[in-house]
Amino acid sequence: MPGDGAAAHLGDTVSEEIVVNNAAISRRHAIAGVAGALAVAGASHRPVRAASDKVRFLTSWYAEAEHGGFYQAKATGLYAKNGLDVDIQMGGPQINAIQLLTGGDADMTMGYDIQVLTAVEHGVPVVTVAASFQFDLQGILAHSDIKSLADLKGHKILLASSSHTTFWPWLKEKYGFTEDQAAPYTFNLQPFFADPSIAQQAYATSEPFQAQKANMPVNFFLLAKFGYPPYGSTVITTQQFISKNPSVVKRFVQATMEGWKSYLENPAPGNALIKIDNPKMSDEQLAYSHSQLKATGAVTSGDASKLGIGTMTDARWKVTRDFLVRSNLLKDGTDWKSAYSLDYIKNLHVIA
């Protein structure tokens, strides 16, 4: 939000604009708003022991570098060392993660602040326990003649249906965009390539890379740089699971955040598992996504640089809550603080 301290803090940690021509940028846009992820991690001085506690973890999309910390924790034995037997299950476009989580088909899932706050408003007992990314990697991909988000006023912008209850209201509020600018997004770049007047939603590590491969000069605008407040790739579970398995959650969070630190340093072990789950994932895409995770500081910037990977704060959650209330996407009386818990990340201090 303009003038908001927490939002301004975000702007200090990410690139304002990524120009893709011969400059790099990319990553597959996992559908924003697909519900959650949970975190489970162990006490920092817990002795090594054989894996025993089973955890079914559901990701937000097909296996990719954006899930690297989880796959790295499994590949390098970090979960096992924390007494966990973690089964990573891939999400996808037709999978309702919150429904599977609350239905007992998953113990934890990869999520998104807005999805969780909306669920809590409707009485669904889910809770976020950590944030892999300090900001959402969502952005807008535009042709090279567009030099700023403000320049898009009056242009068609291709949007997925879920975006109308996430970042689109924020863009309308901040830049005065109008509903008649919104057009359906078909999850491929052909309409964008064919029409130089339009823009579309994109993920920092996906569509810009595809545009680069097609030798299409574009500009990519990372919304977090301009104040869009949610965290990215959060870890979500249920209140019931936490109440029965607090140690499992703590150990999962600990191992996962150590996994992210390890993945940023050397992604090879995690990438090998990613390619087993998703054989269509190329080495080139993995390398590009990994480079952008590092370049943008998604995992390590902002509060994470001082408090550790996975950290969250009340202030940041409140910025998202306030935006949703202003946009009539969340009732003012919603118990928004029940949507997250800081108990599982506050003393981890996994510093990259």
Asked if residue 256 lies in contact with residue 235, where contact means CB atoms within 8 angstroms, the answer is yes
Strand-pair partners of 238: 126
Q: How crowded is the C-beta side of 289, counted as CA atoms within 13 Å?
A: 27
CA distance 209 to 171: 23
Q: Helix/strand/coil (H, E, C) string of 295-330?
A: HHCCCCCCCHHHHCCCCCCHHHHHHHHHHHHHCCCC
Residue 251: per-residue pLDDT? 98
272's CB contacts (< 8 A; 6+ apart) are 75
Residues of the chain where predicted confidence (pLDDT) is lower than 50: 1-49, 51
Residue 52: per-residue pLDDT? 83
Burial class (CB in 10 A: 0-12, 13-18, 19+), 275: middle
Residue 136: per-residue pLDDT? 97
CA distance 173 to 158: 18
DSSP 336: G
Closest alpha carbon to 95 in 107, 110, 85:
110
Strand-pair partners of 138: 203
Read off the pTM. Answer: 0.85
Residue 93: per-residue pLDDT? 83
Domains of the chain, first to last = 16-29+137-226 (3.40.190.10), 49-135+230-339 (3.40.190.10)
Residue 3: per-residue pLDDT? 36
CA distance 76 to 206: 26
SS3 content of the chain, % helix, strand, coil (to 5): 40, 20, 40
Residue 56: per-residue pLDDT? 98
Provide the token pair at 187. 């999850």
